[in-house]
Structure 1
Amino acid sequence: MDRIDAMRIFTRVLERQSFTQAAEDLNLARSTVTDAVKRLEQRIGVMLLERTTRQVTPTVDGEAFYQRCLSIIQEVEDAETAFSAVKPKGTLRVDVHGTLARHFLISKLPQFLSEYPDIELYMSEGDRISDVIREGIDCAIRVGNVKAEDLVSKKITLLDEVTVASPEYLAKFGTPTNVEDLRKHRMIGFRATGSSMPLPLEFVIDGKVHNVSPKVSIVVNAAETLVAAAKEGLGIIQVPRYHIKKDLASGALTSILDSTPPTPSPVSILYPRNRKYSPRVKVFIEWLDVAFDMSHPSKLG
């Protein structure tokens, strides 16, 4: 095993805080991973990792060496792709909202994997960003204005949002004709991960954004549950139009207050700053522009 491979193993162990999980990520035996780190420590003469029965954490020297390893690995990968015809290879871990993946990405993945046959794509579904680095995720695709200190964010597109309710709900409570009418209505609260309060309904009126919080009938934290609750007549919701396109077409949900729509929601890709120049992440980001194939909300209806 050469030094670059040993550095790759060490960085993955530190990120995952686990020899076992790093071994699984790299498709190596745990003993191989353990031996590689031990030899690395022996060669440079310092302890890089503190081991306990539950967790692996970097020493001060280990954290400093980790940053140097990342720079070296990135330089090597850049050199390999810049001066050869070799395409990126290896495992690429992507975390994305499930509905977003199923609507925009899955049908187009054969094209990406055909172009990059040596990339092994692992796609997980989630909405958290706090553990992106620790869980070894290369990049995450998120909806909304998401910011994290250790992550770089790049906006991909915008999602057209719509305000809807079920016909049964509107028959019971009436159809609001303006935002003021919402004081007599109910909404289904959506509480994003990390938030203690449900998000308000949002409307653009004369170019200005207005937030309204009607009485909440139920609070949920999953997009599928939000839509299901709305279809059962529990209240008004705001969601990306693509998510409920079939429900609008079938009449299961009805759009309301179309003259004062919510602001579009940005879709962004986030990736750890230390993987900014990873060839696998780079080509995936470039492909996402093709996968979404849209630059403004009118194309997302």
Structure 2
Amino acid sequence: MVSTPKAPKAPDPTQTAAAQTATNVDTAIANAGLSYVNQYTPDGSLEYKVTGQQTMTDQNGKTYQIPIRSAYQTYSPQNQAIYDQTQQTQLGLAKLANDQTGKISGILGTNVDLSAGNVDKYVNDHWQSGFNNQWDRDQASLDQSLADKGISMGSAAYDNAMRDFSTRKQAASDQYLGDMYSNAQNSILTERNQPLNEISALMSGSQVHQPSYVNTPTTQLPNVDQAGLINDSFNQKMGLYDRQVSQSNAAMGGLFGLGGTLLGGWAKSDRRLKEDIRRVGTLDNGLPVYAFKYKDGGPTQIGLMSDDVRRTHPDAVFEHADGFDRVFYERAVA
């Protein structure tokens, strides 16, 4: 019988997955290592340092050590000096704002009084005296003018002049109070808000600045398709196996066909009678099987060579009267 090729063993899915995972992890570590590039500029530097390791375990129980890197930013000496001075200034403003908050605690607990009575009081306290002084001077000037004209106090002309003066003063006072009412409201609100605005300004100058981070450049290496390579290799082996099986089947079919026609007889198997010889298989007893054509014509056939048979089964070979060997296949394939 012609030996049947042994089929290749299919890849173990678990081992294939583990190989792919290991390749992916190695590629990821390589990508990370290429991406962490130290940067140096006139304003400062950015350096990456390995500060530890993280252990990762896959589904198969295999562990990997993943490097952990930290980024360190450093100012130039000049920028560091500016930064330190700015921080001291902001800290001073923050302390000053904190001190000021004690002074306004009472203000925050009191409602703003914009009632008519309080607004009128504010006008009287801050501006009414100036208005009255101006009209007192105007009245003195009127008295002097009337005296210069010979109009004495208590006369009808004098009383008429005073009534006119009082009417103008009252009208001016009403107009003045109306104009000053909105000013008084704004002034009351300003006095209330002034300390709050001062603290807000101090706090805005003492805000903590969030650190700025430099984006890390990335360099990507393609992942090796380890699973694909394993499967491709298996498919190639299977293709070779299929071809070998086909050749083996062809050899067996041809040999059996030859045995069927020559069973109990002798076949011309001398190598000298054949051409286009190529080995296509092996019998279970070790004899090579060949495809060939007879030199005197005919199709491709499958069979043995007498010189091979003579070495293992000499009783299955004899030399014909024509000088060429014959092989008794029934004995040769035993």
The answer to whether TM tops 0.5 is no
Place the TM-score, normalised by the shorter chain, in its bin: under 0.3
TM-score, with structure 2 as normaliser: 0.15
User: Over alpha carbons, which structure has the higher Rg?
Assistant: 2
Structure with greater strand share of residues? 1
